[in-house]
């Protein structure tokens, strides 16, 4: 199902100095189908489901340190997702249990850090943050995997 995610502002990368007001990201499967003003995406993708979020929508982050402590590898990976990250560095996912949990949840395991950016046809890894930096929602490979209630 095609879903359009929109928020108070859209940032293609978190370094953006001029976020797009009323911006949106269309997601189909695990890929970005389009990025731009909400009204343009609604016209381009009629009938798409629309998810409206408060705060800033942008690319999901890369977790660059030790994965949070938790009783199981699955819970450690879920803690990463709750932080707004959909990728971890292989240096910190160095045991088979963590790598398996990451794979089951479509969390990317990267050899080196990278700057996350939302691009057309790129992998649909998105995060929404409120003004104080709390992650409100995480989309990993097109699936909503965390939503703060």
- CATH number at 26 reads 2.30.40.10
| Portion of the chain with pLDDT greater than 90, in percent | 91
Mark whether 103 and 66 lie in a shared domain: yes
User: In this structure, are strands 3-10 and 20-21 parallel, antiparallel, or unpaired?
Assistant: antiparallel
Q: Which two tokens stand for residue 87?
A: 């990728």
The confidence score (pLDDT) of residue 147 equals 95
Mark whether 106 and 138 lie in a shared domain: no
Mark whether 122 and 50 lie in a shared domain: yes
Mark whether 137 and 69 lie in a shared domain: no
Mark whether 120 and 54 lie in a shared domain: yes
Mark whether 89 and 120 lie in a shared domain: no
Mark whether 67 and 102 lie in a shared domain: yes
Mark whether 55 and 120 lie in a shared domain: yes
Mark whether 101 and 130 lie in a shared domain: no
- What tens digit of pLDDT does each residue of 88-120 get? 999 999 899 999 999 999 999 999 999 999 999
- Name the DSSP letter for residue 31: E
First to last CA, the chain: 23
Residue 15 phi/psi, 5-degree rounding, is: -90, -5
Query: What's the pTM?
Result: 0.94
Residue 87 belongs to what domain range?
62-110
Mark whether 69 and 50 lie in a shared domain: no
| Portion of the chain with pLDDT greater than 70, in percent | 100
Looking up tokens 């007001």 gives 21
Mark whether 54 and 127 lie in a shared domain: yes
Q: How many domains does the chain have?
A: 2
Mark whether 78 and 13 lie in a shared domain: no
Residue 95 burial by Cβ neighbours in a 10 Å radius (0-12, 13-18, 19+): exposed
The confidence score (pLDDT) of residue 11 equals 94
């Amino acid at each position: 199902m095609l879903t359009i995610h929109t928020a108070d502002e859209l940032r293609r990368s978190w370094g953006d100095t001029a976020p797009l007001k009323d911006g949106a990201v269309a997601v189909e499967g695990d890929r970005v189908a389009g990025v731009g003003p909400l009204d343009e995406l609604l016209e381009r993708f009629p009938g798409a489901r629309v998810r409206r979020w408060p705060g800033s929508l942008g690319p999901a982050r890369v977790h660059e340190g030790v994965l949070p402590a938790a009783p199981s590898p699955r819970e450690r990976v879920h803690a990463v997702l709750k932080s707004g990250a959909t990728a971890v560095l292989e240096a910190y996912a160095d045991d088979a249990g963590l790598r398996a949990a990451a794979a089951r949840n479509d969390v990317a395991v990267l050899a080196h850090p990278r700057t996350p950016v939302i691009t057309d046809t790129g992998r649909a890894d998105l995060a929404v943050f409120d003004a104080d930096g709390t992650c409100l929602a995480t989309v990993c490979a097109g699936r909503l995997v965390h939503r703060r209630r």
